[in-house]
Amino acid sequence: MKLLNIVLVIGFLGVVSCDMKCMYYKFYLCFTTLALQYNRSPLCGSHIELDLCLESGARSCGVEDTNTVKEIIRVYAETCTPGTSMNAMFHKHHHCVSITAAAGNSQCLRPMFTEIRALGSPRQANYGDKVMRIACKHDEAGTRCINNNIRNLCGQEAVTFRTNLSNPTSTLSNEACRLVSQQSSQYSNRYKRDTNSENEMPFLAYHVAAALHQVPGFNLGSTMLQNRE
């Protein structure tokens, strides 16, 4: 798969990739907390808080010096810095990618949420890993569907912007996907989601997350889905 073609250094596979799964959940929690707090994407809207949260999460997972984390922070900083090409593209396309295309993006996610709904209670053992496996399985199809939807509504340049913005989180998601498919349940308690702190995801925040990269978006959306039961 194009988006899952991630090469990991064999010597770090048992350590760094495991911590990348930790970082994946930290990213998810940072994005969720700020999106719920402000009812909007924290990218640029709450950039300083998002940056601090991601840096803190990276330190707690022991991955603050990895290229993956550095690239996420770099791309987000460039996107939110006036005068950069990414900032210009952000202002030009973000509304269409995140708001105008939201309804179509939600249709792209429907097959995944059908499977997530079938899982049942989020308080079951290893629920987070099960959701991630579903998200990873549908990653390529979801990417293609969302990009086609954005292309039809917003144009090819908007697709390119979305791709450039989401590439670093795609790398993080792909590393977590690779790990969760290989890892035994011995690590599950370390990365278990705090379901008691999760609330229903507002429409705007959920679809903004999906527009950036859909694997974290699936987890954000699963919060909303399960709390509607």
Q: How far apart are CA 139 and CA 127, in angstroms?
A: 18
Are 191 and 19 a contacting pair, CB within 8 Å? no
pLDDT averaged over consecutive 10-residue blocks of the chain (229 residues)?
Answer: 28 44 83 77 82 91 90 92 94 88 84 84 78 82 89 95 88 82 50 40 42 47 41
Are 87 and 78 a contacting pair, CB within 8 Å? yes
Q: What is the pLDDT of residues 41-51, one digit of tens each?
A: 777 878 889 89
Residue 130 pLDDT = 81
Query: Which stretches does DSSP call E strand in 6-127?
Result: none
Question: What is the number of other CB atoms lying within 10 angstroms of the CB of residue 130?
Answer: 18
Scan for tokens 């919060």, then name that residue: 223
Collapse the DSSP code of 188 into the 3-class scheme (helix H, G, I; strand E, B; otherwise coil) and give the result.
Answer: coil
